[in-house]
Amino acid sequence: MPKSPSRNSPTRFELFAVTAPGLESITAGELKTLGMKGRQQPGGVEFAGDAGQIYQSNLWLRTASRVLLRLGQFHASTFYELERRAKKLDWAAFLPATGSVEVRVTCRKSRLYHSDAVAERILGAIARVAPSGLKIVSARNEDVESEDSDAQGTGKAVPDGGATPSSQSFVVRIVDDQCEISADTSGELLHRRGYRLETAKAPLRETLAAAMILASGWKNNEPLIDPMCGSGTIPIEAALIARRIAPGLNRRFQFMNWAWFDGRLWNEIVEKAKDSIIAPALGIHGSDRDPGAIESAKRNAKRAGVTSDVRFSTESVSGAFAGLEDVADGEGWIITNPPYGVRVGESADLRNLYATLGNSVKAKARWRIGVLAAEDALAGQMRLPMGSRFESRNGGIPVRFLVSERIEHGTASAVR
């Protein structure tokens, strides 16, 4: 049985897996695979779990940004009411012995609209029970439950290793005078798997790359190619998924700094995850015309433990497709994140690229393609019937993940 945080605390908690917009259903599917029933909300998935499920969700979720634990929810229309109710929460159970504490506040449609004043009261409640070695730092006012860019919700790094001082974040949301307070269980954002220490131009978040793989329908016995792989995120995430390697296997989490962290239970969960790793024969290929990007991709793959599962090469898009002639007949996938053409005059230069992507699929029987696209006009250049699997944002740009349908060659195109 997981240990209770304190005498009066429950062993089962209300949890919330934060996602980028549009990825809620994919994360809910991941939780279902882990045996946890979730309820989708804008910006994430609500679910319930004990300590073991807090550990599992952080270890295994590939498309979530972080996992929050609900400390309390109450009405607060005055600062007196906020202070009185905040003092009753079990703050001590979620405070590390050393390091720092920060509070992130969002106020909407409420009488308590001054976020700095709200943060001051919450920090005061925490300071009453904080260990002497803990530093209470200033608040950061942002909505951690809608983080979709690297500039949001990054927190302080929790490096791998021993007893490193940590930064515990608490999230306060006041909407229509209803206050909801949560503790961050993850620490660094979950897309930081620990392998991508090098990036190329226009990097793609690991969580978004994993969502593309999971939403596509790709199976690990099918070849997969990313002809514009950059630092290798899509091929590497595909290999991790195919081999059932838990994305959080080589990093630390904030819950490890809590006094009630159950190291024995965590080690059991990690060992079970290691035992679940498989080694299927994979045909994953990543290519890019930038030699420097390919060298970074190879080093990232090595850190991820999938060097032998992904073949990287330096070549143009057309050169990568020429290599498809050596691939055995059968179903296969092109999954990629091409340029979006958001700059003035850039779209015209990209039409040929998208047309090449479409022609490469038409030329290979039973192959399909999945692209992250920002403009339907460019995606239409592929001349393939495409369906949207999800809509999200990448680097602040609205995007759709489009996947081609199974078609007979020569069928006309339509982007839906």
pLDDT digits (tens, 9 = 90+) for 380-413: 999 999 999 999 999 899 999 999 987 554 444 4
Give the residue carrying structure tokens 């030699």.
Answer: 291
Using DSSP, state whether 210 is helix, strand or coil: helix
pLDDT in tens, 203-236: 899 999 999 999 999 999 999 999 999 999 999 9
Using DSSP, state whether 182 is helix, strand or coil: strand
C-alpha 206/C-alpha 218 separation (Å) is 17
Confidence (pLDDT) at 8: 44
Those residues with Cβ within 8 angstroms of residue 224's Cβ, 6 or more apart along the chain or in another chain: 218, 235, 238, 283, 284, 285, 332, 333, 334, 335
Name which residue leads in pLDDT, 197 or 242: 242
Confidence (pLDDT) at 3: 45
Those residues with Cβ within 8 angstroms of residue 343's Cβ, 6 or more apart along the chain or in another chain: none
Reference 357, options 333, 326, 330; nearest CA is: 333
Mean pLDDT, residues 162-183 taken together: 84
Which tokens hold the place of 56? 């599992």
CB atoms within 10 A of CB 146: 17
CATH number of 206-243+280-415: 3.40.50.150
Confidence (pLDDT) at 148: 44
Mean pLDDT, residues 27-53 taken together: 97
- Residue 33 CB-density burial (10 A; 0-12 exposed, 13-18 middle, 19+ buried): exposed
- Positive or negative: CA dihedral 198, 200, 206, 207: positive
Stated as kind and residue range, the H or E segment containing 70 is: strand 64-75
- Positive or negative: CA dihedral 131, 106, 393, 293: negative
Confidence (pLDDT) at 328: 61
Helices (H), 2-153: 24-33, 51-60, 79-86, 115-127
Stated as kind and residue range, the H or E segment containing 84 is: helix 79-86
Q: Where are the beta strands (DSSP E) in 137-217?
A: 166-175, 178-184
pLDDT exceeds cutoff 60 at 155:
no
**How far is residue 215 from each of residues 29, 141, 226, 284, 374, measured CA to CA in Å?**
10, 33, 16, 17, 17
| Helix 233-242 and helix 291-304, axial crossing angle in degrees, nearest 10 | 20
pLDDT exceeds cutoff 60 at 174:
yes
Query: Is 169 within 8 Å of 133 (Cβ atoms)?
Result: no
CATH number of 13-184: 3.30.2130.30
Confidence (pLDDT) at 348: 67
Helices (H), 177-335: 206-216, 233-242, 263-275, 291-304, 317-322
Mean pLDDT of the chain: 87
pLDDT band at 416 (very low <50, low <70, confident <90, very high): low
What is the domain partition of the chain in residue ranges? 13-184, 206-243+280-415
pLDDT band at 156 (very low <50, low <70, confident <90, very high): very low
Confidence (pLDDT) at 162: 34
Name which residue leads in pLDDT, 365 or 411: 365
Mean pLDDT, residues 28-55 taken together: 97
Reference 296, options 372, 62, 189, 288; nearest CA is: 288
pLDDT exceeds cutoff 90 at 176:
yes
| CA angle in degrees (0–180, nearest 5) for 43-229-277 | 70
pLDDT in tens, 295-312: 999 999 999 999 999 999
pLDDT in tens, 400-409: 999 998 755 4
pLDDT exceeds cutoff 70 at 356:
yes
The counts of H helices and E strands in the chain are 11, 16
C-alpha 179/C-alpha 75 separation (Å) is 6
Confidence (pLDDT) at 98: 87
* Percent of the chain topping pLDDT 70: 85
Length of the chain: 416
- Of the listed ranges 106-120, 126-140, 219-233, 281-295, the least confidently predicted one is 126-140
Confidence (pLDDT) at 314: 96
pLDDT band at 97 (very low <50, low <70, confident <90, very high): confident
Which tokens hold the place of 40? 């989708």
Give the residue carrying structure tokens 């296997």.
Answer: 249
C-alpha 195/C-alpha 299 separation (Å) is 8
Confidence (pLDDT) at 327: 67
pLDDT in tens, 314-355: 999 988 888 776 666 678 999 999 998 765 456 667 899 999
C-alpha 183/C-alpha 112 separation (Å) is 21
Those residues with Cβ within 8 angstroms of residue 303's Cβ, 6 or more apart along the chain or in another chain: 194, 195, 196, 197
Which tokens hold the place of 35? 């045996």
- Of the listed ranges 153-162, 189-198, 259-268, 279-288, the least confidently predicted one is 153-162
**Largest Cα span, the chain:** 72
pLDDT exceeds cutoff 50 at 67:
yes
